[in-house]
Structure 1
Amino acid sequence: MECATIVVPKNYRKPADGNLSIAISRRKATDPAKRQGVLLLNPGGPGGDGLLMPQGFKNDKVAGPFDLIGFDPRGTGRSSTLHCAEPPIVPLYETRPTDKQFAQIAADAEAMEKGCEAAGGGLRKYITTANTARDMDVIRAAIGEKKINYLGYSYGTLLGAVYGSLFPGGLNRSVLDASMHPDWQYYEQAKQVSVAARENFDALAAWMAERDSRYHFGKTQADVRTYLDGIRAKLAARPVAWPGEPGMPEIDGTWFDIILGGSGYRPAWALAAELIGQIRDAANNPAQAKLSPDAGKALKILYGNIKKTYNGVFPAVTCEAVWSKDPKGYEEQMRLFREKYPYGPGAMQAAPTNCSFAKSKPQEPLVDLKRKGYPVGLVVGAEFDPATQYDGSPAMAAALNNNLISVRDEGSHGQYGTNPCVTKKVDDYLIKGILPGSRVECEGAPRPDVPADGQAATRAKPAGSLAERAAAIAAQGHFDRRR
């Protein structure tokens, strides 16, 4: 790749106030004779750095006719960075907090806001979606293009929609994959993560119930949930050690919720059920049963750690919308979510954030999203998407009057480059200009070939250790090649 730095105003309203640097990259079209311009890429976030993204698509069809352009948005990576001061204490993270813990969660959010404000250095209020979109238009001009084509994932879908709304003359074809909801900025978007986690858990529980003779969690979805909630209570009282992985925490009730809610990707269900079974056995028989080191490695590969970020972009950008200052409203929502949507991050997605304590007002209103003056684009959404709930994709398609590709029974985040059906339709659109139809569907990744009770097995037991199987599933993942 070729790399460069461009200079943009910190404040577009007052360009004389100072400048920022934006790191950009380019991988030139491998078929120059058929070159069709540039394809600008964004991985999402807010706060995702995209400088290396062109390398992730070097073997894809779009690498032929397009110069692939990556960039680190303002505040991230090799661009002018924004940081938050580390909170004085480790914030409380509890998927099912008690009423007594609400005050601590609010205090942690307020401390985070104070740390971000203290370290903002006069830059923080200019880290917004609209300003990043303005930077994108500077990138377009700097590389000598009249128009860009665009591919964005997750939050990158909102960024692409904002760019098209502000600079319709600069946008040609656009693909918005795993779309945010245009009306959920940002508290409702956060809560929907736990809604999706509950939907994914319910689907997994129903699948395991049909295979009770193999997994022994219960014969109905409701029985599975009741049984695993009982295991969760045991883990909350006496956590299970995470073996063989230095630095990983014990598996307590909160971690069990994260694992249960994070098992939405359909090909991972059989492995997830085995790992949950090992945790169950260790919780039921702490003196005799322990997690194996192989299980510890597999759990780390699939679920990792609770990510802690000190980059200030996410807590800055999410404050571009107005947040409620009413603590009672957040407490009411946390009570609802700990009961109804406790899996994955659970009630933490309904908790107040640093934005609930922001003293400064947003610099400008949110951009009114519309498509007027650039071609019809594609929005891609997957059922059971764990990060940007599926409902956001049809809503974004309707708001922009774009075409929609829906992926059935999927459970993962981001489809272009991983789902063959989606990839072909998007390639045909980006390269040939062929729209797939206003509303089309693709099949999601297949569920594991594990027979339900009373059915004959059709395939041998999966080969390899738990960790090897987890690594194979992770290799199908939906972020690595895009970062």
Structure 2
Amino acid sequence: MSRGVRRLLAAAAVLAVTMTAGCSATGTDDDSGPSPSPSRSQTGAAREYLTQHVDWSTCFDKFQCATVKVPLDWDDPDGSEIGIAVIRTQQADNTRGTILVDPGGPGGSGFNIVKDSLGYVTTDRLQSHYAIAGFDPRGVGRSSAVDCFTDAGRDRMRSNDADPDTDAGFKNLRSMYHRFANACQKHTGALLEHVDTESAARDMDVIRAALGERKLNYLGFSYGTKLGATYARLYPGKVGRFVLDGALDPSLTSVQIALGQAKGFERELRVYIRRCGQQPDCPLDGGVDHGARQVRALLDSATRTPLTATDGRKVGGSLLASGIIAALYNTANWQYLTQGLAGAMNGDPSVLLALADQSADRDQSGNYTSNGNEAFIAINCLDYSPPAKKAAMRAVAARIEKASPTFGPELAYTGLTCANWPVPSTAHAPKPPGTDKPGTDKPGTDKPGTAPILVVGTTGDPATPYAWAKSLTRKLPGARLLTWKGEGHTAYGRAGPCINKKVDAYFVTGTMPPRGTTCR
């Protein structure tokens, strides 16, 4: 029996909890996937954005900030414009240029990751050779942003435990997401139609010019790898040194993503349970299978009878599952997962609730400090084409729940988020980098070929399974795969010196690791 749908699991990488990146609305096997559309002609008005004057000013004591202007609609660059917030470290005379960072999502703030967590996403060596820049993609944070529900409305949405396997539950959730879609349209306006990944990738080329770079150097995590691969398709001659860590293959359908993540998180839970069982404070007993059944029993029990946290909030299966999934992104959080499970099994869900809140950017006062979850939905509803009919969603949900008895109920029925979306999907058939139609001043035709790209894959990555890193590497001309044999989401910055040194060497000297390189 499904416990319901808890779709809001994702936004971006943060310090302790790395949030889901690549979760998407669930579709069918033959849905058109998230690939960008064919190239659009670049008029004189569009080229003017590349030569705009950008006013960089000192911000947050040691950074420089600017707002870069881009067209609201890249099909109509003479029309309205929006602002993209960019931050960068001070560029020393000896630096080799700038690396643009995207932490994932969609909906993650590259601005905040540079401002608050620079030492987590980049090494001292990299910072000594490059300035580091981050940005909030269109629809996100400090840029022209998506706006939907109030904080109270987001709380209600995250804690909805209606069961879509029942007609009443399905109707409840569809109605809730219809209200959400209407609120997004009301408060966001015309921007809602233009927050797709291809538009964000076009914005990146304007950012490249604003940074004074002839070619773009880029470090993308999770969904940021899809954004980077899209840029490489559109502007192959402007690809500098690209590292894509935690790969999301743009050719995947939404069903393939949902199934891959369902299997990934189920597998990761079992790895956690096995390690937990070796510790004296582990609340799970009787081996991995029994431990997984205990987790499922906890979630089912809380769905029927919500627990009460120390702050008085009622916590059902939805929020508990979100907290567990959030902790599985990073092995550094597994100690908190153990504490959280122990507490919840004894009636106190506070630790798991804190993990769920952190992943959703909700502070202890009940305020949401970002619009990451709202942007996540808005971007995915443009990038993918999920089914809108109940029968199709239930057929997909059955496959997902079979793949993951524990988390399938949390990852199934995500198509409900886009079923009543007020603007049409922009999904198109997949295309490899550099294959846009030829034409003067059109993206994808400035120069033939794409510079070598380094893809980093983690064998135990639950959110972007290792198979996706292998498939993306095959699709990118001249790309090479660097493997970390480890657990959790992404590798650079947390996997240790082997990965860090090889990524840094590529950025600093252009030296690719030998084919088949694996770090342990």
TM-score, reference length from structure 1 = 0.78
Q: Match of 1:462?
A: none
Output the CA distance in 2 between the equivalents of 1:233 and 1:325: 27
Q: C-alpha displacement at 1:392, in angstroms?
A: 1.8
Q: Match of 1:5?
A: 67
Q: Match of 1:425?
A: 502
Please tell me whether residue 368 in structure 1 is matched to residue 436 in structure 2. no
Which one is further off, 334-343 or 110-119?
A: 334-343
Output the CA distance in 2 between the equivalents of 1:230 and 1:237: 11
Q: C-alpha displacement at 1:310, in angstroms?
A: 4.9
The one-letter code of the counterpart of 2:156 is V
Q: Deviations over 1:63-88 (max 9, x none)?
A: 12212222222222222223225569
The one-letter code of the counterpart of 2:495 is N
Residue 208 to residue 374, structure 1, CA distance change in 2 (3 Å)? same
Please tell me whether residue 403 in structure 1 is matched to residue 480 in structure 2. yes
Q: Deviations over 1:75-129 (max 9, x none)?
A: 2222222322556993363496542412222222232222223333222212221
CA contact (8 A) 1:369 1:400 kept: yes
Output the CA distance in 2 between the equivalents of 1:429 and 1:193: 29
Q: Deviations over 1:358-411 (max 9, x none)?
A: 354345736623266222111112233243233221121111141112222312
Residue 347 to residue 191, structure 1, CA distance change in 2 (3 Å)? farther
The one-letter code of the counterpart of 1:93 is N
CA contact (8 A) 1:239 1:252 kept: yes
CA contact (8 A) 1:381 1:393 kept: yes
Q: How does 1:38-437 map to 2 (within 5 A)?
A: 38-55=98-115, 56-57=117-118, 60-85=124-149, 90-91=156-157, 93-94=160-161, 97-100=164-167, 101-209=169-277, 215=282, 217-243=284-310, 246=311, 249-264=313-328, 265-269=330-334, 272-280=337-345, 282-283=346-347, 291=348, 296=350, 298-299=351-352, 302-304=355-357, 307=360, 310=371, 312-318=374-380, 319-338=382-401, 340-344=403-407, 346-358=409-421, 360-363=423-426, 365=428, 368-370=431-433, 373-401=449-477, 402-411=479-488, 413-420=489-496, 421-437=498-514
The secondary structure found in structure 2 opposite 1:159 is helix
CA contact (8 A) 2:258 2:400 kept: no
Output the CA distance in 1 between the equivalents of 2:210 and 2:306: 55
CA contact (8 A) 2:145 2:188 kept: no
Output the CA distance in 2 between the equivalents of 1:88 and 1:38: 37
CA contact (8 A) 1:337 1:347 kept: no
Residue 330 to residue 364, structure 1, CA distance change in 2 (3 Å)? closer
CA contact (8 A) 1:2 1:27 kept: yes
TM-score, reference length from structure 2 = 0.73
Output the CA distance in 2 between the equivalents of 1:9 and 1:220: 56
Which one is further off, 91-100 or 372-381?
A: 91-100
CA contact (8 A) 1:8 1:135 kept: yes
Q: Match of 2:77?
A: 15
Which one is further off, 76-85 or 390-399?
A: 76-85
**Structure with bigger RCO (C-alpha 8 Å, 6+ apart):** 2
Q: Deviations over 1:3-46 (max 9, x none)?
A: 1222222222222112112222221344x23x322211112222
Output the CA distance in 1 between the equivalents of 2:71 and 2:422: 24
CA contact (8 A) 2:109 2:140 kept: yes
The secondary structure found in structure 1 opposite 2:190 is coil
Output the CA distance in 1 between the equivalents of 2:155 and 2:340: 32
Gaps in structure 2 of 5+ consecutive residues: 1-62, 361-367, 435-447
Output the CA distance in 1 between the equivalents of 2:433 and 2:186: 36
The one-letter code of the counterpart of 2:127 is A
CA contact (8 A) 1:200 1:261 kept: no
CA contact (8 A) 1:383 1:406 kept: yes
Output the CA distance in 2 between the equivalents of 1:325 and 1:382: 34
Q: C-alpha displacement at 1:428, in angstroms?
A: 0.6
Output the CA distance in 1 between the equivalents of 2:323 and 2:268: 11
Identity of aligned residues (%): 25
Residue 366 to residue 223, structure 1, CA distance change in 2 (3 Å)? same
Gaps in structure 1 of 5+ consecutive residues: 284-290, 444-483
The secondary structure found in structure 2 opposite 1:115 is helix
Output the CA distance in 1 between the equivalents of 2:320 and 2:108: 27
